Structure 1
Amino acid sequence: MACCGFIIFAIVVNVGGVPTDDRGYIGAEYWHDPGAFKNGFHGFCTVFITAAFAFGGTEMVGLAAAEAAESHKSLPKATRQVFFRIAFFYIISLFLLGLILSSDNEGLLGSHGANTKASPFVLAIKEAGVKGLPSVFNAVITISVISVANSCAYGSTRTIQALAPVGMAPKFFAKIDKAGRPIWCVLLQLAFGCLAFVGEANGASGQVFGWLLALTALSFLLVWMSICLSHICFRAGWKAAGYTTDQLPYKASMGVVGSWCGFIINCIAIIATFYVSLFPVGGKPDAKAFFQSYFAAPVAITFYVSWKIKTGIQTGNWRFMVKAEDVDVTNGLREGTLEGRYHDHTRKNQPMWRRALGTFF
């Protein structure tokens, strides 16, 4: 509702329909002065980290599927909604935001963490001279931050709990209480959440957020690169095991081709981020600036190499990946999946208008 409201508001502001805004008709003025792509391709690559941090989290759909009662129905619907909501609400909102708010606005430079006072949406509303609405949007942003914390609490605890049984995390993290909650994982997650209080230190909030952003933002690119690669390997293993794609309860819309495209795009983004981290815009190569943008990469490499060394010593297997014919594609498969029990045909039988509506809601 907030995104839809802002889209309508931005269009009205852009055409000069707000009486309190003395700028009148704006059009594409800010795209020409100060310009839409500051510092050219170099500047464009610089925002990959922040963009990855903002758009990350859609992989939660896959985590939730493991606990969903009817994942064959809920997962495809959730996947479609996530994709089209981002494509429509987020991208259009940001495009219109760029039309009504100058990229060199001084308020944008004061943003640190969840500082909603420096939110570009709130600044755009203030620039239009509309009173009261900034507070409403601040409330919306605060609620969304709480929602992010909720989903991250769910995702992080389930991920750690899944790592424990296979030896990738301490065994006690595998413990689940009577209500089905990974209690030790929840306690660990809450402990890490206390790091937020470090941001209250005098003069340290910006630096703390910068390092936490460096540790998490690039991780989203690494995670999605591995997700795409995992899907490619799964489909290869599925085919090698003699199964067909018709036996899958849910098939990715663009199949293996889409995963290859996603893998390549993420690789390019990671390489571009390395370039701008080594040669920052308007500055010289600096170790601190480099690691504030690329800190997650050496951390991920360290974890991966450590695991390969451990398993290599234990099993003598030093291969980078598992062969397609050796992939176990039926482990954890729900009974009746291969027989088509979990295929959802309701969407195909629905009228066009209902399918279009179900794409967003």
Structure 2
Amino acid sequence: MVCGAGKTGPVGFRYWRNPGPWGPGILVKGNKNTAQFLGWLSSLINAAFTFQGTELVGVSAGETANPRKSVPSAIRKVLFRILIFYVLCILFLGLLVPYNDDKLEGGGYTKTSPFIIAMNNSGTKILPDIFNAVILTTIISAANSNIYCGSRILYGLAQSGVAPKFFTITNKGGVPYYAVVFTSAFGALGYLAVSDEGNKAFDWLLNISACAGLIAWGWISFTHIRFMNILRSRNISRDSLPFKAKFMPWSAYYATVTIFIITFVQGFSVFWDFNAAGFFTGYVSLILFVALWIFFHVLFNGVGKSSWKWRNVFIPLDECDIDSGVREIEELEYEEEEPKNLWQKFWAAVA
């Protein structure tokens, strides 16, 4: 479509020249630069939600054959998938749909999808139907991934004593079916989007999950900083690890600071026209996180003054356990079959 497929002809950078790559902005009148910055910030926060889930590759390590080989390979492939399926898609959408397209306003989520708008504008009638089929497949895949990871995280929490013990019950295949059923039940909340009134509740849940994902990202980055400090304190080289992330520790510091800043400012729009409902929608995940952290800290450490000592908030580096299970994992041997035909080689490269 960018190069000329459809009735619009070659689009190229047409809409970047007229009406331009930047919209008028939001919230602030009389200061275009500030308004555009706030618009960019709002889109950044919304985009963060769509990227969430890339970190779940680590959750699957416990049930992956030869995780020391397959997990690093999967992590490397995630970068290329983000570049292809996210960055390039955003670039093409920016080329194909002008910011002042009337169809971007009003209607349901499907009608205002820039993908559907771009295809409808091109005049290719069958493309929207094909795209909807692709989206349906993607949604099923995402649901499957989220149920898998959510149930395993719940299983881990139950093993740690911060979730009911019955979530640790598994069948003969090792599947924590109570955790799977409990996690799957939240999928029914998607039906809130069926009605117009339900859209508000759906947006509320969307904001909660987006903020929760940002909090998780921030603590993953902070945990990695602590992990590197532990290695340094014990004179363990990062070269001994099966996978060594690049640009460390600076990228971890950058991620931690940036994500926590975004977490705190992600509800900024509510302060232009403050209302309690909007504030609660934007920051309920942050409030819940703090409340739950205090609850479990008191549960495990008590309420006395000694329970709030630094060592009870953050375990000292020399007491952190990073050795349990390492020997058993290192002693495991895996037999892998090399791909024999073209299809197997292709699947091994992309999967």
Shorter-chain TM-score bucket reads: 0.7 to 0.9
Q: 2:19 aligns with which of 33, 43, 51?
A: 33
**Contact 2:193 / 2:199 at 8 angstroms: preserved in 1?**
yes
Q: 1:213 aligns with which of 206, 231, 242?
A: 206
Give how far 1:275 is off: 2.8
| Other-structure match for 1:4 | none
| Other-structure match for 2:191 | 197
Q: 1:312 aligns with which of 301, 307, 314?
A: 301
Q: 1:159 aligns with which of 142, 149, 153?
A: 153
**Contact 1:60 / 1:155 at 8 angstroms: preserved in 2?**
yes
Over aligned residue pairs, what C-alpha RMSD do you find? 2.6
* Deviation sequence 1:167-222 (CA, Å, 0-9, x none): 1111111111111111111121122222223433x432211211110210111111
**Contact 1:277 / 1:291 at 8 angstroms: preserved in 2?**
no
Give how far 1:31 is off: 5.9
Give the counterpart letter for 1:299 in structure 2.
L
**Contact 1:158 / 1:182 at 8 angstroms: preserved in 2?**
yes
Equivalent-residue separation in structure 2 for 1:157 and 1:111 (angstroms): 34
Describe the shift of the 1:191–1:93 C-alpha distance in structure 2 as closer, same or farther (beyond 3 A).
closer
TM-score for the superposition, normalised by structure 1: 0.82
SS in 1 for 2:89: helix
| Other-structure match for 1:351 | none
TM-score for the superposition, normalised by structure 2: 0.84
Q: Does structure 1 residue 271 correspond to structure 2 residue 257? A: no
Higher relative contact order (CA 8 A, sep 6+): 1
Describe the shift of the 1:203–1:117 C-alpha distance in structure 2 as closer, same or farther (beyond 3 A).
closer
Q: 2:135 aligns with which of 115, 136, 141?
A: 141
Equivalent-residue separation in structure 1 for 2:278 and 2:327 (angstroms): 48
Describe the shift of the 1:91–1:243 C-alpha distance in structure 2 as closer, same or farther (beyond 3 A).
same
Counterparts of 1:166-205 in structure 2, within 5 Å, are 166-200=160-194, 202-205=195-198
Q: Does structure 1 residue 132 correspond to structure 2 residue 148? A: no
Give how far 1:55 is off: 1.0
**Contact 1:126 / 1:134 at 8 angstroms: preserved in 2?**
yes
Q: Does structure 1 residue 103 correspond to structure 2 residue 99? A: yes
Q: 2:75 aligns with which of 53, 72, 79?
A: 79
Give how far 1:77 is off: 1.1
SS in 1 for 2:249: helix
**Structure 2: unaligned runs, 5 residues or longer:** 26-34, 339-346
* Deviation sequence 1:282-336 (CA, Å, 0-9, x none): xx12222222222211111111111112122189543331121111111232526
Give the counterpart letter for 2:219 in structure 1.
S
SS in 2 for 1:243: coil
Describe the shift of the 1:66–1:300 C-alpha distance in structure 2 as closer, same or farther (beyond 3 A).
same
SS in 1 for 2:54: coil
Please say which of residues 51-60 and 33-42 is displaced more in the overlay: 33-42
Equivalent-residue separation in structure 2 for 1:28 and 1:108 (angstroms): 18
Q: Does structure 1 residue 116 correspond to structure 2 residue 110? A: yes
Task: Give every structure 1 segment of 4 or more consecutive aligned residues whose post-TM-superposition deviation is greater than 4 Å.
Answer: 339-342, 357-361
* Deviation sequence 1:96-141 (CA, Å, 0-9, x none): 21111012323323465xx434321111011111121111111111
| Other-structure match for 1:234 | 227
Give the counterpart letter for 1:251 in structure 2.
K
SS in 1 for 2:50: helix
Equivalent-residue separation in structure 1 for 2:329 and 2:21 (angstroms): 57
Counterparts of 1:10-29 in structure 2, within 5 Å, are 11-12=2-3, 17-18=4-5, 20-21=7-8, 25=11, 27-29=13-15
Equivalent-residue separation in structure 1 for 2:291 and 2:15 (angstroms): 47
Give the counterpart letter for 2:200 in structure 1.
Q
Equivalent-residue separation in structure 1 for 2:104 and 2:185 (angstroms): 31
Describe the shift of the 1:62–1:19 C-alpha distance in structure 2 as closer, same or farther (beyond 3 A).
closer
Give the counterpart letter for 1:212 in structure 2.
L
Equivalent-residue separation in structure 2 for 1:301 and 1:31 (angstroms): 47
**Contact 1:175 / 1:183 at 8 angstroms: preserved in 2?**
yes
Equivalent-residue separation in structure 2 for 1:359 and 1:90 (angstroms): 19
SS in 2 for 1:178: coil
Give the counterpart letter for 1:255 in structure 2.
M
Aligned length: 326
> Taking every aligned residue pair, what percent have the same amino acid on both sides?
30
Describe the shift of the 1:25–1:196 C-alpha distance in structure 2 as closer, same or farther (beyond 3 A).
closer
Q: 1:285 aligns with which of 270, 274, 281?
A: 274
**Structure 1: unaligned runs, 5 residues or longer:** 1-8, 347-356
SS in 2 for 1:133: helix
Counterparts of 1:322-341 in structure 2, within 5 Å, are 322-335=315-328, 337=330
Give how far 1:61 is off: 0.3
SS in 1 for 2:146: helix
**Contact 1:111 / 1:119 at 8 angstroms: preserved in 2?**
no
